[in-house]
């Protein structure tokens, strides 16, 4: 077909998407990260990219991308742009593509994390009204490259995946086009709004919440123990959730629910049903894999999918220290939790639990986000807090999120 697709990034996900789409579409891989595009071009040379799909009938896809580049002007011919890169890098892609993009370009972001649509709108400027943003709740595959730039493997494909389209008028075309690109699985299920995807983000609760519960000032005196490494074992992440950590997680998820209810009251017709509580998310996503679903702690402690997963640690056995700069804080706080906190502040809702987690986490990751309880830190622009793009009132948010056009 004539469809031209850009795939952004150069890691596991971007390589897999490039391999998957190059067979049927004119696919150009774009990476702005250091000299990654050049490196990838050199690694592949004149060979084809080889994608292995575990468990599929046709389990080898051999293809050649039409190009690998760091030149943003390729966006002028793009019908679809897929971002399959960690969320801290999204802004750079939006900003560099903005001058070149043609009307109606569909930008699919997997995963979008929180507030991706707001960042997109603000970076697109005047062009925003003619562009289509599709936020996916997660990456459709579990995947890894096996030989960097040359070979990758899809370990598993989700059956269904939620995605929301901004503006809603572009829904049918955008979701149809993206489903065509992805194939039969995962089946894209439409979510009513990107605000729902943003506030659903389970990682923004689970990861910082469990890290705080185990390593925060209320349970682990980091200063006193900084010199004292852990025992030989890394602590279990999900199975290790105790009563205290559960109260932290419940506090955070309830505070996000309050944001949802207040937004729904403020915007007639707005439906944030997908931004469910964390416990509901477990019930929906891991049905049948948990032996105790009576409490949130039970869901996490007894989830088979989480068996044996440990806290991110640095050092070697006998010498482990928690890795407080791991993406569980370094990604999930700025591009997840900060959005929820920013929304709460705009709505004048207090969030004591989220606050204590952010205040602790910002020190761990070396960012200044909150000052004196307010979202006014100097690094706000590095986060997805709406305040980072100058939004401080509900009216400004509703406008940038294009929520008025609903219903």
Residue of 31, 121, 157, 383 interacting with ligand NAD (CB under 6 A): 31
Residue of 23, 43, 142, 309 interacting with ligand NAD (CB under 6 A): 142
Distance CA 351, CA 256 (A): 8
Backbone φ, ψ for residue 187 (5° rounding): -80, 120
Backbone φ, ψ for residue 255 (5° rounding): -65, -35
Residue of 33, 100, 220, 286 interacting with ligand NAD (CB under 6 A): 33
- How near is the Cβ of 179 to ligand NAD at its closest, in Å? 19
**For residue 322, which of 235, 205, 388, 199 has the smallest C-alpha distance?**
235
- How near is the Cβ of 334 to ligand NAD at its closest, in Å? 12
Q: Which residues contact 341 (CB under 8 A, 6 or more apart)?
A: 351, 354, 355, 358, 370, 375, 385
Distance CA 153, CA 147 (A): 10
Residue of 143, 182, 188, 358 interacting with ligand NAD (CB under 6 A): 143
Q: Is the peptide bond before 84 cis (omega within 30 degrees of 0)?
A: no
Residue of 6, 13, 357, 389 interacting with ligand NAD (CB under 6 A): 13
Q: Which of 207, 341, 382, 402 is catalytic?
A: 207
- How near is the Cβ of 108 to ligand NAD at its closest, in Å? 13
Backbone φ, ψ for residue 175 (5° rounding): -70, -35
The smaller minimum CB distance to ligand NAD, of residues 89 and 359, is found at 89
The smaller minimum CB distance to ligand NAD, of residues 104 and 156, is found at 156
H-run or E-run covering 225: helix 222-225
The smaller minimum CB distance to ligand NAD, of residues 139 and 266, is found at 139
Cα dihedral value 391, 362, 323, 34, nearest 10: 50
> Which range in 29-37, 69-77, 114-122, 292-300 contacts ligand NAD by CB under 6 A?
29-37
Backbone φ, ψ for residue 299 (5° rounding): -55, -40
- How near is the Cβ of 112 to ligand NAD at its closest, in Å? 10
Radius of gyration for the alpha carbons in the chain, expressed in angstroms and rounded: 21
> Which range in 7-15, 272-280, 292-300, 380-388 contacts ligand NAD by CB under 6 A?
7-15
| Residues 41 to 100 in contact with ligand NAD, rule: CB under 6 A | 84-87, 89
Q: How many residues bind ligand NAD (CB under 6 A)?
A: 19
207 catalytic residue (yes or no): yes
CA dihedral for 305, 139, 403, 336, sign (positive or negative): positive
Distance CA 354, CA 13 (A): 30
The smaller minimum CB distance to ligand NAD, of residues 138 and 166, is found at 138
Sheet of 4-8: strand order equals 67-69, 26-30, 4-8, 80-83, 106-109, 132-136, 160-166, 187-190
Residue of 65, 108, 111, 388 interacting with ligand NAD (CB under 6 A): 111
- How near is the Cβ of 144 to ligand NAD at its closest, in Å? 6
Q: Which residues bind ligand NAD (CB under 6 A)?
A: 9-14, 31, 33, 36, 84-87, 89, 111, 138-139, 142-143
What is the set of active-site residues?
207
């Amino acid at each position: 077909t004539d469809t031209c697709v850009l795939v952004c990034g150069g890691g596991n996900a971007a390589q897999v998407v490039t391999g998957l789409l190059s067979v049927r579409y004119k696919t150009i891989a774009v990476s702005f990260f250091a000299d990654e595009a050049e490196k990838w071009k050199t690694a592949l040379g004149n060979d084809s990219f080889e994608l292995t799909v575990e468990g599929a009938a046709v389990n080898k896809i051999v293809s050649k991308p039409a190009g690998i580049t760091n030149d943003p002007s390729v966006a002028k011919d793009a019908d679809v742009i897929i971002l399959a890169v960690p969320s801290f890098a999204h802004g750079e892609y939006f900003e560099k593509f903005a001058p070149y993009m043609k009307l109606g370009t569909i930008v699919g972001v997997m995963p979008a994390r929180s507030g991706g649509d707001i960042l997109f709108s603000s970076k697109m400027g005047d062009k925003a009204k003619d562009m289509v943003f599709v936020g996916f709740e997660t990456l459709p595959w579990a995947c890894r490259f096996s030989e960097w730039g040359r070979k990758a493997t899809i370990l598993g494909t989700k059956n269904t995946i939620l995605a929301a389209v901004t503006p809603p008028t572009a829904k049918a075309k955008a979701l149809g086009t993206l489903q065509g690109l992805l194939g039969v699985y995962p089946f894209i299920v439409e979510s009513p709004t990107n605000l729902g995807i943003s506030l659903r983000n389970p990682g923004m609760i689970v990861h910082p919440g469990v890290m705080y519960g185990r390593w925060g000032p209320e349970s682990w005196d980091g200063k006193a123990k900084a010199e004292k490494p852990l025992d030989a074992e890394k602590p279990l992440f999900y199975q290790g959730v105790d009563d205290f950590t559960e109260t932290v997680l419940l506090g955070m998820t309830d505070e996000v629910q309050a944001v949802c209810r207040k937004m729904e009251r403020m915007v007639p017709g707005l439906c944030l049903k997908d931004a469910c509580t964390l416990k509901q998310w477990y019930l929906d996503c891991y049905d049948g894999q948990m032996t105790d679903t009576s409490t949130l702690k039970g869901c996490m402690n007894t989830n088979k999918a989480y068996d044996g997963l440990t806290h991110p640690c640095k050092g070697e056995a006998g010498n482990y220290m928690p890795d407080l700069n791991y993406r569980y804080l370094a990604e999930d706080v700025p591009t997840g939790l900060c959005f929820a906190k920013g929304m709460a502040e705009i709505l004048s809702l207090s969030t004591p639990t989220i606050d204590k987690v952010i205040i602790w986490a910002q020190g761990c990751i070396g960012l200044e986000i909150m000052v004196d309880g307010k979202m006014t830190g100097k690094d706000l622009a590095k986060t997805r807090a709406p305040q980072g793009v100058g939004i401080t009132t509900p009216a400004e948010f509703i406008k940038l999120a294009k929520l008025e056009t609903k219903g």
